[in-house]
Amino acid sequence: MSEHVVSPKIYVVILLALLLGTYLTVSAALRDFGPWNIVIALTIATTKALLVVLFFMHAKYSPKRTQLVVMCAVFWLALLLFMTMSDYVSRVDYRGVRYPVSQNFFLTHSPHS
């Protein structure tokens, strides 16, 4: 397997892109985009992560097997997060109140009542 030597020029470009991303994500966070704030933050974070994986970690120049390994990691993490959250967002307790009941814990178990 021949080694691919990545030119420092590319590394500098990626470095600048990552720094730009950091600046963007901080300034976006300081503004109010409502529910889009988290979307913007995670999109920028994922883009930065992708640049690090592809170029700094040489995944772009690695055999397909390496790329499959990376995709498996991402896929399984997504599985863990999405499938668990699918349980949480679909739960409703018998009083018709949003889960978890412990949000109302202090109401029904107050030391004073």
Partner 1 sequence: MHRTGELYGQFETLEQQKDSATLGMWIFLVTEVLFFGGLFLTYTVNRHLYFTAFGVGGNMLDLKLGATNTVVLIASSFTMAMSVWAAQTDRKKLLPLFLTLTLILGCVFLGIKYVEYKQKFDHHLVPGHSFDLTYRINHPTPGDSPKELEGERKEIEDAIQTEAAGTPQERLVALNAHTQLYFSLYFGMTGLHALHMIIGAGLLIWVIRESLKGRFTAAYNTPIEIVGLYWHFVDIVWIYLFALLYLINRHAV
Partner 2 sequence: MSTASTANVGPALKMPEKHYLNATYGIRSWLLTTDHKRIALLYLVSVTFFFFIGGFFAMMIRLHLLTPSGYLLTADTYNRMFTMHGVAMIFFFLIPSIPAILGNFLIPLMVGAKDLAFPKVNLLSWYIYIVGGCFTLYSMVTGGLDTGWTFYTPLSTVYSNSAVAPAVVGIFITGFSSILTGLNFLVTVHTMRAPGMTWFRLPLFVWAHYATSVVMILGTPVIAITLGLAAMERVFGLGFFNPAMGGDPILFQHLFWFYSHPAVYIMILPAMGVISELIPTFARKKLFGYHFVAAASLAIAVIGFLVWTHHMFLTGQSTYAAIAFSFLTFLVAIPSAVKTFNWTATLFGGSISFDTPMLYAFGFLGLFLIGGLTGLFLGCLGVDMHVHDTYFVVAHFHYIMVGGAVMGYLGGLHFWWPKITGRMYPEWLARIAALILFVGFNLTFFPQFVLGYLGMPRRYHVYPPEFQVYNVMSTAGASILAVGYLLPMIYLTWAAFYGKVAGNNPWPATGLEWTTASPPPTENFAATPVVTWEAYDFHNRPDLGLDVPAGHPGIVPAHGDD
Instruction: Residue count of the chain, please give it.
Output: 113
Q: Which option in partner 1, partner 2, none does residue 20 bind, with CB closer than 5 to 8 A by kind?
A: none
The least distance separating partner 2 from the CB of residue 2, rounded to whole angstroms, comes to: 16
Helix segments in 33-63, DSSP class H? 36-51
Taking CB under 8 A as the binding criterion, the range among 17-25, 42-50, 51-59, 96-104 that sits at the site for partner 2 is 96-104
- Angle at which helix 36-51 crosses helix 8-29, to 10 degrees, equals 170
The least distance separating partner 1 from the CB of residue 10, rounded to whole angstroms, comes to: 9
Burial class for 54, CB neighbours closer than 10 Å (0-12, 13-18, 19+): middle
Using only the alpha carbons of the chain, give its radius of gyration. Answer: 22
Helix (H) or strand (E) holding 10: helix 8-29
- Which residues, 70 to 99, sit near partner 1 by CB under 8 A? 70, 72-74, 76-77, 80-81, 84-85, 88-89
Name the residue nearer to partner 1 (CB basis): 92 or 103.
Answer: 103
Q: Is 91 in the site for partner 2 (CB under 8 A)?
A: yes
Give contact residues for partner 2 (rule: CB under 8 A): 65, 72, 76, 79-80, 83-84, 86-87, 90-93, 99-103, 105, 109
